[in-house]
Amino acid sequence: MRRKLAAGNWKMNGTLAELSELGALQGAAGGNAEVLICPPVTLVASAAANAGAIAIGGQDCHSAASGAHTGDVSAPMLRDAGATYVILGHSERRADHGESDALVAYKTQAAWAAGLTAIVCVGETLDERESGKTLDVVGRQLAASLPDDVTGANTVIAYEPVWAIGTGKVPTTNQIADVHGFMRSALIQRFGTDLADTIRLLYGGSVKASNATEIFAVADVDGALVGGASLKATDFAPIVDALNN
């Protein structure tokens, strides 16, 4: 059985004062689902020291373990700070920093080498969705962003339709089911059924308490990667609760 995962991506939000939200979230984190918070890198060490039952992750890492890369953070640095996960290939990184599938694959290998679980993100833009290219885009990203040594322990995949992130727009459950079913089939074709069935598939894109139960009922949705609704425990806890039910 794949353990459900509720992952919160704080993006470029939060100071030390906001870490009080971790304490408020502890009650929800005691269930069967794993709870993960990915704060900005300035808070990773402090968050890990006060995480309790919550896992802590980074939002990105460099593909190199060290070197002359001003302003970047390596996977070993995140691991040393107490992180156990790292988000890679998020659409905001792909768009704002021009990250390619190949670079995401290199970063994924770096994360594995440091002992981190990579959350690899894929997803289509609105133009790609309306042009009927969703599965082509997701299939290409999935194939090129994942190195060959994938396991259910070192990798999680998050489907985040770009047009749904932070917009309040959410795909229909049938649309989510189509993409998640496609991803599971693609993983089975590449890695075989036994391995593919261990890899968790998350949905991300305007997930909130009011739609979480419906989304989590979709086949092959093993949890969520949540943005804005993860910043406050009062918003994120009901999502975790929906995943535990």
Which residues are designated catalytic?
A: 90, 160
Alpha carbon of 19 to those of 13, 50, 104, 207, 233: distances in Å?
A: 11, 8, 29, 21, 10
Q: What is the spatial distance between Cα 148 and Cα 168, in angstroms, rounded to a whole number?
A: 35
- Angle, CA 132 vertex, CA 222 and CA 6 arms, to 5°: 15
CB hemisphere CA count around 184 (13 angstroms): 20
User: Please, is 132 exposed, middle or buried when counting C-beta atoms within 10 Å of its C-beta (0-12, 13-18, 19+)?
Assistant: exposed
Handedness of CA 235, 241, 244, 245 (dihedral sign): negative
